Structure 1
């Protein structure tokens, strides 16, 4: 999955570069479409996959502010 994310991330960066190339060469509409599709792919495909990979195997309870975690922080002297 991490290899897929790296390849997909590089492909998105390449698409953004191609979009800017089209913008500079005079075809602004096509360049904007390519850049827009790359940004949408980043937002709706790459970011959720990244979040799933990073949160796999972790408990949300460890990162939430509950009474138990507040007590642990008080006992350790972290305010």
Structure 2
């Protein structure tokens, strides 16, 4: 998955750079496909890859997590 994301990122960035540097009729399409590829394919894949094994409750502000934060704050002040 990591290599697929890397390849797609390089392809999208290459498309954007080529769209700016080449003087062809479809330069704007290259830029558009590169940006669309980044935002519609690469970013969701990257987000899924980074969050797939994480527990979402660890990142939510629940009463238990707030109590843990307060306890850690008191411990660090001493």
Match of 2:35 in 1: 39
Listed as ranges, the gaps of 5+ residues in structure 1 are none
Listed as ranges, the gaps of 5+ residues in structure 2 are none
* Structure 1 stretches of 4+ moved >6 Å: none
Name the count of aligned residue pairs.
Answer: 74
Match of 1:63 in 2: 59
Q: Deviations over 1:25-66 (max 9, x none)?
A: 2x4x52111101110110010000000100011000000111
Task: Quote the Cα distance in structure 1 between the aligned partners of 2:58 and 2:37.
Answer: 31
RMSD: 1.4
Instruction: Map 1:8-47 onto structure 2 (within 5 A).
Output: 8-22=8-22, 25=23, 27=24, 30-47=26-43
Match of 2:71 in 1: 75
Q: 3-state SS of the aligned residue for 1:32?
A: helix
Give the TM-score of the pair, scaled to structure 2: 0.86
